[in-house]
Structure 1
């Protein structure tokens, strides 16, 4: 039997690739027209997608009763790089009208069995943990038992991308044995999350669960495995452009390049440009490189500063260019068949704003599907 779900703040519909063929999307929503085009291009026309501000969506727009509601609500005001507005901010504040719909579904007798929220790591510490407590209170107020984990996509893909997931189970649903532990696990519950849990209200803490996820298999793919020799969306830099990047490097970063040259094999690194203060107190632009076969976290390419540059070192030969859009998609776990926007920034933004596909699959395998199977067996019995 297929499982059903709603996908709020759906973007290009990456969640569906993680959930897989056993899941049917009853309803999806986003406000971004360009992302909606990608959603429709990759979901057979996307008849279930409503392009509309979530604050303008009504409960009458929502069909059926979903097993799962997934919501990757906007992260900008919760990000460590943001201005600290938190859930009171204009963008991350979209959680409030979304949750209003969830409450209305419950009042209508159609509350989902499972709710999963996804956001940046900063959601745990935003506003001194008060935003985390607000999310917890939302789950507790509807009677959900809930817990949270931090999952880094680097366990599955060569991209450093820690993300926060809060997952709640409706109070009438039975939990399979082994789904929860008596306390936190270091792999999934970092110190900030453990501290946030300690600060919850008494009523929220009473409903808290420590999700006990299995450790993922060892990742068998590196950044170098994803690099295209002849990318379609970008071109290799000229020798002068590559030299310019090298000239922006400090002695420490140049030493990394020299070490890569001495390895006797092709080495792929990533470069970010950052402003650093030198020994004389002068702010200078620097190019910082890493050769750990892992890409930095993909971000929205606002102003171009967050677009990653790759450097390929093969002996004396050094080349550089922007990360291609297809490489960005691969770093999110999307298949080669995924249709990307033609414009570079649109495609990069789509990837940077998305959710890593194998992380969704891991949560589905470890939590969503066991809960749904356990309760369907209960109905049969």
Structure 2
């Protein structure tokens, strides 16, 4: 069974995705509320709650096959202030990395590493942040490659995320796991441009990971929605009317089109600040009816919480997305224990990694790569 460390663990969604072939040897998160949910679902034996900068190699047991780090995205996201890896939150990558270097010095470098974040990590500081990560990995003897995987291929939830997968040492990477060049499905233009910003040294250790076509998704947004949700209430007619009143003509036309479909339509709504016809700032409600939820976010403000609009003929209802519905959109099982507080539960989901995406990555890159490493070790022995 492969061993892994889970950094910035949140509610343990990477652990859920890795599954039964993997055993967690150590988990860490700074947030005590998230850690409480982690403990409720996975137990607290491997969990260390606290600042990653205060960890030492002595806190980490054994030698891990994988170190997974979904480090904070706030300073790298479009909603951030552009601080990037110099920011207070996303900059926690560096103390994590220092810990990895210390493990290497002791001969305990993880065989594999996965760094997960928003796609803004590709363009932050004009690609210099991505290049800095590449420089760190290559300098420590890791070969690495990046892919962008959208959860929408597995769940009715639009959530593209960047995954940097690194392999330690001069291990021969199986040809079946890499492509000769970028593949549009996994390597969008902004990722290809970021590769172009790598130093010569880092580029020499970079690869183009390849993945198979994902299986056809059979679920739609409406499938995860409940008629009698827990933790939220249905809006009154007046509240729904006010929400519709915040829509532009374009978005109202989407509602009208949904009424004519003859089936139950579920739309996701986010409130955004836009310029009105006079050029003044105004809050608008924007809806999508493509059977997919908008990307879940952390509920820093009211506009960051996704609402839903359910249209069945002339009947139109609205409310906030429930915590359990948010969990389903992340691929968490029904038995997963969520915080009782709405914002805490929504924050946990909005700040996590989609479970089936982790499983897909593990099945098609991480596990085959570990098998190749083990085979190589046997031959040397």
1:186 alignment counterpart: 184
In structure 1, what is the equivalent of residue 9 of structure 2?
Answer: 10
1:200 CA displacement = 0.9
8 Å Cα contact 1:75-1:120 kept in structure 2: yes
Structure 2 matches for 1:58-137, cutoff 5 A? Answer: 58-137=56-135
Report the 3-state secondary structure (helix = DSSP H, G, I; strand = E; otherwise coil) of the residue aligned with 1:83: coil
Does the 8 Å CA contact 1:173/1:371 hold for their aligned counterparts? no
> Hey, what does 2:174 align to over in structure 1?
176
Q: CA deviation at 1:51?
A: 0.3
Q: 2:21 aligns to what? A: 22
Query: Which whole-Å CA distance do the structure 2 matches of 1:221 and 1:168 have between them?
Result: 32
Q: What is the aligned partner in structure 2 of residue 347 from structure 1? A: 345
CA offset digits 1:255-302 (Å, max 9, x no partner): 111110011111000111122212222222211111001111100101
Distance between the aligned counterparts of 1:376 and 1:248, measured in 2?
A: 58
Partner of 2:30: 31
Aligned with 2:244 (options 243, 246, 265): 246
TM-score (norm 2): 0.98
Task: List runs of 5+ in structure 2 lacking aligned partners.
Answer: none
Instruction: Select the residue among 284, 289, 294 that pairs with 1:286.
Output: 284
Query: Which residue does 2:215 correspond to in 1?
Result: 217
Shift of 1:31: 0.5
Tell me whether 1:362 sits opposite 2:355 in the alignment: no
SS in 2 for 1:173: coil
d(CA) in 2 for partners of 1:205, 1:379 = 26
Q: CA deviation at 1:105?
A: 0.3
Is 1:159 aligned to residue 157 of structure 2? yes
1:246: how far off?
A: 1.1
The answer to whether the aligner puts 1:49 opposite 2:51 as a matched pair is no
**Aligned pairs (5 A) from 1:251-290:** 251-290=249-288
Give me the whole-angstrom Cα distance separating, in 2, the residues matched to 1:295 and 1:202.
40
SS at match of 1:80: coil
Shift of residue 164, structure 1, vs aligned partner: 0.7
In structure 2, C-alpha distance between the alignment counterparts of 1:359 and 1:79, rounded to whole Å: 20
Aligned to 1:233: 231
Conserved in 2, the CA contact under 8 Å of 1:68 and 1:114?
Answer: yes
Q: Specify the SS of the correspondent of 2:241.
A: helix
C-alpha contact 1:235 1:321 (8 A) present in aligned 2: yes
Q: Map 1:192-207 to 2 at 5 A.
A: 192-207=190-205
Name the SS for the 1:20 alignment partner.
helix
Question: What is the alpha-carbon distance in structure 2 between the residues aligned to residue 177 and residue 193 of structure 1?
Answer: 21
Contact kept, 8 Å, 1:174 with 1:371, in 2: the verdict is no
TM-score, structure 1 length as denominator? 0.98
Q: 1:140 aligns with which of 138, 141, 145?
A: 138
C-alpha distance in structure 2 between counterparts of 1:375 and 1:56, whole Å: 31
Q: Which runs of 4+ in 1 moved over 3 A?
A: 378-381
Deviation at 1:173, TM superposition (A): 2.8
Structure 1 unmatched ranges of 5 or more: none
**What does the per-residue CA deviation read over 1:224-262, in whole Å, with 9 as the maximum and x for residues that have no partner?**
000011101111111111111111111111111111001
Structure 2 residue 306 is matched with structure 1 residue 308: yes
CA offsets per residue over residues 18-59 of structure 1, 9 Å max, x none? 00011000001001000000000000x221010010000111
